[in-house]
Amino acid sequence: MVRKTSTLIVNSTLLILLLIAPVKAQENIVIPDTLDNEWYSTWIAGLNGSQSTFENWAAGGQNNVSATVFSRINGAYQKGRFKYGYVINLRYGITNIEGEESRKTDDRIATKHRIAYILNDANTMNMFAQVSFVTQFYDGYDYSGEERVRISDFMAPGYFTESIGYAYTPRDFISFEAGLALKQTIVTDDSLVVSPGYGIDPGENLLSEGGLNLGISFNKEILPNVNYNSSLETFNNLKKPVVSTDFAWANELTGRINSFMTASFTFEMIYDDDVIADELQTKQILGVGILFNLR
C-alpha cells in the first residue's frame, strides 16, 4: 500500500506540472573552440512523461497518461576566424485523462543560425549575424472558460528575427551580446488576427518591428552530472518606450541519472505586450525521462 501510494503521489505531481507548464528547451548555439576547419554536430532525442491507473481507489482519481517527445540538433563549423553554428529544436507533448479530451501540453518548432567573425586571438570577442524562427505544429486552445477557445496554430503566430551585433565571451560557459534586430510576427489565420491578435492590425497578417537586442547566456556543469543552462534575451522596439521591452528568461537544470535516464527542472518567464499586455507569462516543469544521443 505504501509503495502504491508513493507511486501515485509522484505520478500525480508530474502530471500536474505537465498540465500547467510546457517546456521550452534551451536553444543556445554551441561552437567548440577546438574546431579547426571541421564540422561538429550532436543530435539528441527523448521522451518525458507519466502514467497513473486507479482501481477501487477509495480516495478517487482518474486514469491518465502524459508524454512529451523532443529532438534537438546542434551543428557548428569553424575555419580560421570565421565560425557558423545552428540549432533545431522540436517538441510536442500531450496528456489524456480518462473521460476527457486529449490536451496539448507542449508544442514548439524553433531554429537558430549564426555566423560570426572572431575579433581577437583569445576568441572572447566576435561580431555576428543571426537568424531565428519559432512557431508550433498544431492548434492551441485556452481552457480557462466553460468552452475551449482556439488561440494559436502553425504559423499563427510565427516569429522571424534577424540580428547583427557584438558578442563577448569571457569564459567558455558565459556570454554577453548586444545588437540591432528586425522582428516579424506572422499570423496566417485571419480569425486569430481578430483575437488574440498578437499585435497585428485587423486585415493584416504581418507585424514588423525594428529595435535593440540584448542577451546573456550561461551553460555550466555546476555539480557532477548536473548541468545548469540559462538565457536571457530582450528586444526593445525603437518606437515604443523602454517599459514595453519584450524579454524571455529560460532556465533548465538537468541531472543525468544514468546513461539514458535524466531528471530536469525548467522555469521560463516571458513578457511581450503584443500578446498579453502588462502581464508576465511563466511556466515550469519537473520531469523524468529517457534521453538518446543519436549523433
What cell does 67 get?
A: 508524454
Gap between the Cα atoms of 63 and 17, Å rounded? 16
Closest CA to 70 of 113, 27, 19, 106: 106
For 19-39, write each residue's pLDDT tens digit: 333 334 457 787 777 788 889
Q: Decide if pLDDT at 166 tops 60.
A: yes
Which pTM was predicted?
0.84
* Residue 235 belongs to domain with CATH number: 2.40.230
Band the pLDDT of 275: cuts 50, 70, 90: confident
**Which pLDDT does position 10 carry in this prediction?**
37
Neighbours of 157 (CB within 10 A): 26
Give me the domain span that covers residue 271: 2-293
For the chain, how many structural domains are there in total? 1
Q: What are phi and psi of 16, to 5 degrees?
A: -60, -45
Mean pLDDT of 192-211: 92
